[in-house]
């Protein structure tokens, strides 16, 4: 017996075997079971999402010898012949190869005749948008008032090309691209039935490459089984799809976190031995960064088949959240711009360099001897206690001194933002109770909590245990104090600008007016 491709072997024969498209199946099931079947249906959607499969199952539902229902028996002559593609009353037409108006008229001449074997004569016209304007005109009258024994099932990947007169005469169902997780799960079930072992990461790679099409995913799976000699392994999937090993992308992320430009360029150059698709590398880097961001915001995020939680937690601790956001945005923009680069490698390397060149600015420490908006000594000032006297500083820590302590912490990024948006409620030995406003609760992740606790322990000279209460903060947080100081500084700058003699002369002589938002304090 000749080999049957997986896409054909596992093609659904009932609505209950379909994967996804529940919004379409529910409507058709209710229509069939309540005997309210329309005379013309239009199924739209990208390739491989189930348009013609649903149409064929619907044809079985209408012509099953046991009666019209949403669950055809699959055993009668009509059901078997439809499954085998030889049912005389199911007329399948490929509109891409029958565009002439004469062919359409010849096809429609038989509409008036009763079905030969079935209950209904069903016309399944695939890629219907390929018909010419004259062919649509020939179809239109029949489509509007067909005989009661005729049903039209139209399918297209490009509904925008259909005339409005045709669209208005059909019930239209838009089939969606299938999610990666759904495709991956379907592939897993098929391989279990086929008694073929598979690595979950390999199935996810195939599901991503299929771009929402289950048929494409099954074709890729067939190809991978042949490529791997009956095995479905991640390494084979990457080799077949032309994607580089996951560890290379992880190493790039680690070098970005370390801000090691020289190492990053050297490593990017070493990838050339695998002849990578640089657009795909940026795609994988963006996907990794997106999951790192989730790990930083969502507590106990479990990752997925290709991004285990321990990897994400490690990168989440090494990368500041604002850097993750910047690197992600730069990666997707760099991928878009690859077509304009002199070559793929140049565009790829410039994208990586751009990630390092345009980092979020870190506010420099004020000069020694200055004070913060709350009146606390700034880091490095004469009033600040030396690093070695952390125990003494901690012994007298009171809620009112929290802002000064935050200024002294060796923190950056999200962990500093978390500290700045908290207020100290109380301290009992090594336990610090902190109040965090509800609108800032997303800043609190396992990584930021650990970094803040470590910084406090270094400053206070003893282990620290943090307890957070997400409540309306009863006192002014360091962040609010800084905002108040910045607003006061801005108001002073605008008032000074308005008092400037040159500005006043321009207003008097030329009737000029100032734009307040354009005035900023000098830095």
pLDDT digits (tens, 9 = 90+) for 26-62: 999 999 999 999 999 999 999 899 999 999 999 999 9
State how far Cα 402 lies from the chain centre. Answer: 39
* pLDDT band for position 263 (cuts 50, 70, 90): very high
The sheet that has 150-156: what strands, in order across it?
90-94, 121-126, 150-156, 40-44, 171-174
pLDDT greater than 50 at residue 385: no
Q: Is the pTM of this model over 0.85?
A: no
* 205 and 243 Cβ atoms separated by less than 8 Å: yes
CB crowding 199-235: b at 16 or more within 10 Å, else e? bebbbbbbbbbbebbbbbbbbbbeebbebbeeebbbe
**Tokens, residue 247:** 């560890």
**CA–CA distances in Å: residue 270 to residues 26, 254, 298:** 53, 16, 34
Task: Using a pLDDT cut of 90, give the percent of the chain over it.
Answer: 43
Sign of the alpha-carbon dihedral angle for 200, 203, 209, 213 = negative
- Map out the domains of the chain with their CATH numbers: 6-174 (3.40.50.300), 180-241 (1.10.8.60), 246-357 (1.20.272.10), 395-475 (3.30.300.150), 486-518 (no CATH)
R_g over Cα of the chain:
33
Task: Provide the token pair at 387.
Answer: 């690093």
Average pLDDT of the segment spanning 94-113: 77
Residue 425 pLDDT greater than 60, yes or no: yes
- The mean-pLDDT minimum among 48-62, 80-94, 468-482 falls in 468-482
E runs forming strands in 49-149: 90-94, 121-126
DSSP 8-state secondary structure symbol assigned to residue 428: E
Pairing relationship of beta strands 40-44 and 150-156 according to DSSP bridges: parallel
pLDDT top residue among 408 and 102? 408
Lowest-pLDDT choice from 100-109, 220-229, 296-305, 415-424: 100-109
Average pLDDT, integer, range 306-310: 82
Cβ–Cβ contacts within 10 Å for residue 76, how many? 15
Give the CA count within 13 Å in the CB-facing half-sphere of 386: 2
Instruction: Extract the tokens encoding 197.
Output: 């072992």
Residue 364: pLDDT band (50, 70, 90) is very low
Q: CA 500, CA 519: separation in Å to the nearest integer?
A: 13
Q: pLDDT tens digits for 435-461?
A: 998 888 888 888 888 889 989 988 888
From 127-141, 338-352, 360-374, 393-407, the region with the lowest mean pLDDT: 360-374
The tokens for 364 are 């420099």
Lowest model confidence (mean pLDDT) among 40-44, 196-200, 346-350, 354-358: 354-358
| DSSP structure string for 461-504 | TS--EEEEEES--SS--HHHHHHHHHHHHHHHHHHHHHH-HHHH
482 Cβ contact list (under 8 Å, min separation 6): 372, 373, 420
Q: Evaluate if residue 474 carries a pLDDT over 80.
A: no
Asked if 240 and 232 count as a contact pair (C-beta separation under 8 A), the reply is no
Phi then psi for 308, rounded to 5 degrees?
Answer: -65, 155
**Lowest-confidence pick of 318-322, 335-339, 355-359:** 355-359
Q: How far apart are CA 232 and CA 400, in angstroms?
A: 61
Q: What pLDDT sits at residue 395?
A: 42
pLDDT digits (tens, 9 = 90+) for 177-204: 999 889 999 999 999 999 999 999 899 9
Rounded CA separation 54/410 (Å): 61
Provide CB contacts within 8 A for 281, sequence distance 6+: 244, 248, 249, 252, 271, 348
Q: Quick: pLDDT tens for 110-166.
A: 888 899 988 999 999 999 998 888 888 888 888 888 889 999 999 999 999 999 999
**Residue 99 has what pLDDT?**
62
Q: How far apart are CA 289 and CA 295, in angstroms?
A: 10
The pLDDT-based confidence of 24 (bands split at 50, 70, 90) is very high
What pLDDT is attached to residue 275? 79
Provide mean pLDDT across the span 2-8: 85
Mean pLDDT of the chain: 85
Q: What residue has token string 């106990």?
A: 300
pLDDT at 150: 93
DSSP 407: H
| The pLDDT value given to residue 282 | 94
Q: Which of 26, 1, 4, 31 is nearest to 15 (CA)?
A: 26
One DSSP character per residue, 213-238 reads -HHHHHHHHHHHHHHTTS-B-HHHHH
How far lies 481's CA from each of 126, 405, 475, 478, in Å?
66, 14, 10, 5
Element at 10 (helix H, strand E): none
Q: Does residue 513 surpass a pLDDT of 50?
A: yes
DSSP state of 76: S
Q: Which residue, among 177, 174, 155, 176, has the nearest Cα to 166 in the 3D structure?
A: 155
**Reported confidence tier of residue 63, pLDDT bands at 50, 70, 90:** very high
């Amino acid at each position: 017996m000749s080999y049957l491709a997986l896409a054909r072997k596992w093609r659904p024969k009932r609505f209950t075997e379909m994967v996804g498209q529940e919004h379409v199946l529910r409507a058709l099931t209710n229509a069939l079971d309540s005997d309210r079947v329309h005379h013309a249906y239009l199924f739209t959607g990208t390739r491989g999402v189930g348009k013609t499969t649903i149409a064929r199952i619907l044809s079985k539902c209408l012509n099953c010898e046991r009666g019209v229902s949403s669950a055809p028996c699959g055993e009668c002559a009509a059901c078997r012949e439809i499954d085998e593609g030889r049912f005389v009353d199911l007329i399948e037409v490929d509109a891409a190869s029958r565009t002439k108006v004469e062919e359409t008229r010849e096809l429609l001449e038989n509409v008036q005749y009763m079905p030969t074997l079935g209950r209904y004569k069903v016309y399944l016209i695939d890629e219907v948008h390929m018909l010419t304007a004259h062919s649509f005109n020939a179809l239109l009258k029949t489509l509007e008032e067909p005989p009661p024994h005729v049903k039209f099932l139209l399918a297209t990947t490009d509904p925008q090309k259909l005339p409005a007169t045709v669209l208005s005469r059909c019930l239209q169902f838009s089939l969606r691209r299938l999610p990666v997780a759904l495709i991956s799960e379907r592939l897993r079930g098929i391989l279990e039935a086929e008694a073929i072992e598979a690595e979950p990461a390999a199935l996810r790679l195939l599901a991503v490459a299929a771009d929402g099409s289950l048929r494409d995913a099954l074709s890729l799976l067939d190809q991978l089984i042949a490529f791997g000699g009956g095995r479905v392994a991640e390494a084979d999937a990457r080799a077949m799809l032309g994607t580089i090993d996951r560890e290379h992308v992880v190493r790039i992320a680690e070098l970005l976190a370390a801000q090691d430009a020289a190492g990053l360029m050297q490593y990017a150059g070493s990838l050339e031995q695998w002849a990578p698709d640089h657009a795909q590398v940026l795609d994988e880097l963006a996907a990794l960064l997106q999951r790192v961001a989730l790990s930083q915001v969502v507590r106990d995020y479990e990752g997925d088949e290709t991004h285990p939680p321990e990897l994400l937690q490690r990168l989440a601790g090494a990368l500041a959240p604002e850097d993750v956001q910047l690197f992600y945005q730069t990666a997707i923009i760099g991928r878009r711009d690859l077509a304009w680069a002199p070559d793929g490698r140049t565009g790829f390397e410039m994208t990586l360099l751009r990630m390092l060149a345009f980092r979020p600015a870190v506010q420099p420490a004020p000069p020694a001897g200055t004070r913060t908006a709350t009146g606390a000594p700034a880091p490095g000032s004469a009033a600040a206690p030396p690093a070695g006297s952390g125990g003494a500083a901690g012994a007298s820590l009171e809620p009112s001194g929290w802002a000064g302590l935050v200024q002294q912490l060796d923190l950056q990024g999200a962990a500093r933002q978390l500290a700045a948006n908290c207020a100290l409620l109380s301290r009992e030995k090594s336990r610090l109770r902190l109040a965090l406003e509800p609108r800032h609760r997303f800043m609190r992740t396992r990584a930021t909590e650990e970094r803040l606790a470590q910084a406090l322990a270094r400053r206070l000279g003893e282990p620290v245990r943090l307890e957070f209460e997400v409540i309306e903060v009863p006192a002014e947080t360091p962040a609010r104090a800084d905002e108040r100081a910045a607003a006061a500084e801005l108001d002073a700058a605008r008032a000074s600008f308005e008092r400037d003699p040159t500005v006043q002369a321009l207003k008097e002589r030329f009737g000029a007016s100032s734009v307040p938002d354009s005035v900023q304090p000098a830095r």
